[in-house]
Chains A and B, each alone.
Chain A
């Protein structure tokens, strides 16, 4: 493991070698109340090379990205661009020096069009100095096509689902001509099709000589597209080198400080009677004739491409949108669910995919988020009981391996993966009968993923029924008792766990070959 020793490249003496870093950070530290997010880390990005940055949830990866893009100022440390010291005092500085980023939590504007979002701040102008709309729309269309996104640039952003929003954010990052491209978990919750396009794009950018920083919790993709790696643990850099010299286990061990057990620790649960029956479920625009049933203790996976209508079906089941046709039965009794409150009262809960908008109240503390749907349980005669709230929050966040400074910390100040854990904890704490998880482990690191899956599996063993919408094939295959594949708003196939292969899922999702 000598290759992983963090021998700092002492290239300062003499001239910068040909393949010197495009950007180099050294001794960067950054603290927040109660936590030292970065502690003297070093990182170098080389032209024409993809560097993977790995580390557990809360290790400091996104904080580093924000420092590189001028959003945060480091407390200490130095940034050099082509060997010359620079300061990213504002986001403008970073953009001017050719750094662009796809952030983990993207900030886009709901009321603007897709094209406006992509070009906001650098819209193409005509000779009168006004925005050149036709060129902007055409350019936007070209960028979207480049990443294989089928989105009309003149659509309003608020009409897009989270995955398509993410594709818009990617396009935005690519709309500027940058030398350094940073991608903070770009493939989280994209399906295999979009992921494939994104890899192509990364290879193209690399061939163009850009320096790329790629943050991901998925090891297969890291080994597929990256050349170098840097590992963070608890805000420190604990290793760097060439990926060719290490194995996945080496990286995990560096990252977590131990070996991670089985990632999909599915224990066979006793499958009981039918809990939920959905039949003839239809929506005027989103889905058509959806029918399935869910048994006690069962984990039912839902796979499909972006836009297949999976989230829309789930949101209708949860009472967010109204189906136009169809019925659901809970415990063989006809049920009408008109609002999330009614769904929760009947024991059906939904962990949404868009945690920033739908999942968490980010400006409120962790404990208040966890207890929000369980207030009737943690309060007495309508009065909140803090001790009960902290106890409940502590119990469930500990099971999910939450890393935080304190339970009264605002959820918005947690790392992305830890925010996700809060959202899952919040819903498990309601002790539901049926839990619908939409991309449950999006942004969660490998060790915590094992914790989440183990917890899910344990609860299924106790009779919880789980619907798991996921775009991660290994997760779907590893955790599900049964898998339903959706395509263009319809069910394209149902598969049992035995004999299921990734190819079967991919083919069904794409509509290739006969559907079983």
Chain B
């Protein structure tokens, strides 16, 4: 018989269940970091050219532009939406930049047109999703065809070439030693989105919306406005990627960046962004970008054909996502206390 006289004063509730170190060890990012280190070591072991700083620097171009897109896309996905039009926005932005170039636009104009196209396309997606309440998967599949379709109409089977020499700085320039302009941009954008998502009220609202849009709305969150801003950001990043890629290639074809929307989604999901919304962190996306970049580069050094590369990335994605679930099955809730 329990003593009855024990009074129940309000109990102290701890702030955190786990300490910081335990949270870090158990995080998705730690798993990714492990994978990244393994792939790095395998690369070092299998090719003597891998560790060359300039080779490594070249390798970063495999992920910098896609990464820019993936960061913004990650936020869209966390909010429970998706943007499949990102690569088409890139194509349209590049096409309009090319068009402007043929009319004699200088570097600042080209950049403004690239970013501006991204913003306008993002605004179109955003309005359709948040104002009309249409499902984003349908809207952006539609605008995916629409935006690239316009590029095809403008360009046909031709290409824009002959961008001004100064314009090459974005995709081919270096800020310092082996650190390219694109890599620096990648880092800055990663930091920007990490801060936005993890350190601001706006970021908190994104998570709330992704987990339960109804409860978020009932909590006074302006759900529509947040979603609109996210599509705007996604468009803007596609525009920025268009500037970088166009500058790097020095030409625009309507087929530019075909299939990148799926690579960006893969990057986000591999990075631990829940495709159903509500969870994931930018750090994971950075690691996923590094992993995908290293895999592509390493396979390239070994002359592995591209199709094997995509098979590997696909397997990696499934594997990395399956591992935690399998581990959970194998080790059923350990007994405590």
Interface on A for B, CB 8 Å cutoff?
4-6, 31-34, 36, 56, 73, 75, 233, 236, 238-239, 253-254, 256-258, 318, 320, 339-341, 343-345, 349-350, 352, 357-364, 367-368, 372-373, 375-376, 379, 382-384, 390, 394, 397-398, 401-409, 426, 447
B258 in the interface (beta carbon within 8 A): no
Q: Is the CB of B13 within 8 A of A358?
A: no
Q: Which 7 A-B pairs have the closest CB atoms?
A: A344-B220, A375-B201, A406-B17, A406-B14, A363-B211, A372-B219, A258-B7
Give min CB distance, A491 to chain B, whole Å.
25
> Which B residues are CB-close (under 8 A) to A345?
220
| Cβ-defined contact, A358 with B214, below 8 A | yes
Q: How far is the CA of A390 from the CA of B6 in the complex (A)?
A: 29
Q: Do B215 and A357 touch (CB < 8 A)?
A: yes
Name the contact of B337 in the complex, choosing from A31, A56, A401 (C-beta under 8 A): A31
Given A339-B222, A406-B13; A375-B214 close (CB under 8 Å): no
B158, CB-defined interface residue at 8 Å:
no
Shortest distance between the CB of A29 and any CB in chain B (Å): 9
Distance of B218 from chain A, by nearest CB (Å): 5
Contact indicator A352/B201 (Cβ below 8 Å): no
Give the nearest-CB partner of A382 in chain B.
B200
Closest beta carbon of chain A to B113's beta carbon, Å:
30
Q: Looking at the complex, which of B28-36, B40-48, B202-210 is the stretch in contact with chain A?
A: B202-210
Q: Judging by beta carbons under 8 Å apart, are B337 and A372 in contact?
A: no
B residues whose Cβ falls under 8 Å from a Cβ of A: 1-8, 10-11, 13-17, 199-205, 207-208, 211-212, 214-222, 278-279, 332-333, 335-337
Per the bound structure, the CA–CA distance linking A75 and B208 in Å amounts to 33
Given contacts A344-B220, A383-B200, whether A236 and B8 have CB atoms under 8 Å apart is: no
Query: How far, in Å, is B227 (CB) from chain A's closest CB?
Result: 14
Please tell me if the beta carbons of B1 and A340 are within 8 angstroms of each other in the complex. no
Whether the Cβ atoms of A340 and B201 lie closer than 8 Å is no
> Please, which residues of chain A bring their CB within 8 A of the CB of B216?
361, 372
CB of B211 within 8 A of CB of A236, answer no
Asked if A405 and B220 sit within 8 Å, CB to CB, the answer is no
Cβ of A394: which chain B residues have Cβ within 8 Å of it?
13, 15
A401 CA / B279 CA spacing, docked (Å): 29
A384 to B278, CA, bound (A): 18
Interface pair A359/B201, CB less than 8 Å apart: no
B218→A408 contact, CB < 8 A: no
A119 and B131 CA atoms in complex are apart in Å by: 37
A257 near B220 with CB under 8 A, answer: no
Query: Which B residues lie within 8 Å of A36 (CB)?
Result: 336-337
19 A-B contact pairs sorted by A residue (CB < 8 Å): A36-B337, A238-B1, A257-B4, A257-B7, A318-B218, A340-B217, A341-B220, A360-B215, A361-B207, A363-B278, A367-B15, A368-B208, A372-B220, A376-B201, A383-B201, A397-B13, A401-B10, A402-B13, A406-B16
Q: List the B side residues contacting A379 at CB < 8 Å.
A: 200-201
Chain B residue at minimum C-beta to C-beta distance from A72: B333
CB-CB under 8 A from B205, the residues of chain A are: 372, 375
Q: Within 8 Å CB of A350, what residues of B?
A: 218
Interface SS of A by simple majority: mixed
Task: Say whether A361 contacts B211, CB under 8 Å.
Answer: yes
- Contacts of A238 on B, CB cut-off 8 Å? 1-2
Inter-subunit contact B336/A33 (CB<8 Å): yes
From residue A32, how far is it (CB to closest CB) to chain B in Å? 8
Q: How far is the CA of A375 from the CA of B4 in the complex (A)?
A: 42
Counted as pairs of residues, one from A and one from B, with CB atoms less than 8 Å apart, the total is 141
CB distance from A76 to the nearest CB of B (A): 8
Which of B15, B212, B217, B222 gathers most chain A CB within 10 Å?
Answer: B15
In the complex, the answer to whether B200 meets A398 with C-beta atoms within 8 Å is no
A residues in contact with B219, CB < 8 Å = 340, 361, 372-373, 426
From A400, which residue of chain B is reached at the shortest CB distance? B10
Q: Smallest CB-CB separation from B203: which chain A residue? A: A384
User: Smallest CB-CB separation from A360: which chain B residue?
Assistant: B215
CB of B212 within 8 A of CB of A404, answer: no
B199, B220, B278: which contacts A373 (Cβ < 8 A)?
A: B220
Contact A406–B15 (Cβ < 8 Å):
yes
Cβ of B336: which chain A residues have Cβ within 8 Å of it? 31, 33-34, 36
**Contact partner, A361, options B1, B7, B215, B222, Cβ 8 Å:** B215
Q: Which residues of B contact A447 (CB under 8 A)?
A: 8
B211: A residues at CB distance < 8 A = 361-364
Q: Please determine whether B8 and A256 come into contact, CB atoms closer than 8 angstroms.
A: yes
Q: How far is the CA of A407 from the CA of B212 in the complex (A)?
A: 19
| Contact A364 B337, beta carbon cutoff 8 Å | no
- Decide if A408 touches B16 in the complex (CB within 8 Å): yes
Decide if A257 touches B6 in the complex (CB within 8 Å).
yes
Q: Quick check: A34 and B17 within 8 Å, CB to CB?
A: yes
Interchain CB contact under 8 A, A5 and B214:
no
- Known contacts A357-B215, A376-B201; is A407 also within 8 Å of B221 by CB? no
> Is the Cβ of A407 less than 8 Å from the Cβ of B13?
yes
Bound CA span A33–B16, Å: 12
Chain A residue nearest to B17 in the complex (CB): A406
Q: How far is the CB of A36 from chain B (nearest CB, A)?
A: 5
Query: Which residues of A sit under 8 angstroms from B14, Cβ to Cβ?
Result: 405-407
Shortest CB-to-CB span from B248 to chain A, Å, is 34
- Is A408 a contact partner of B204 (Cβ separation < 8 A)? no
Besides A398-B13, A403-B11, 14 more A-B contacts (Cβ < 8 Å) are A31-B333, A257-B2, A358-B218, A361-B215, A368-B204, A375-B205, A383-B199, A383-B201, A384-B199, A402-B13, A403-B13, A404-B13, A405-B17, A407-B13
Residues of B within 8 A of A409 (CB): 17
* Cα-based distance from A376 to B3 in the complex (angstroms): 46
- Note all chain A residues with C-beta closer than 8 A to B202: 382
Complex: A373 Cα to B208 Cα, angstroms: 11
Question: Are B17 and A384 neighbours in the complex by a CB distance under 8 Å?
Answer: no
Instruction: Please give the distance in Å from B66's CB to the nearest CB on chain A.
Output: 28
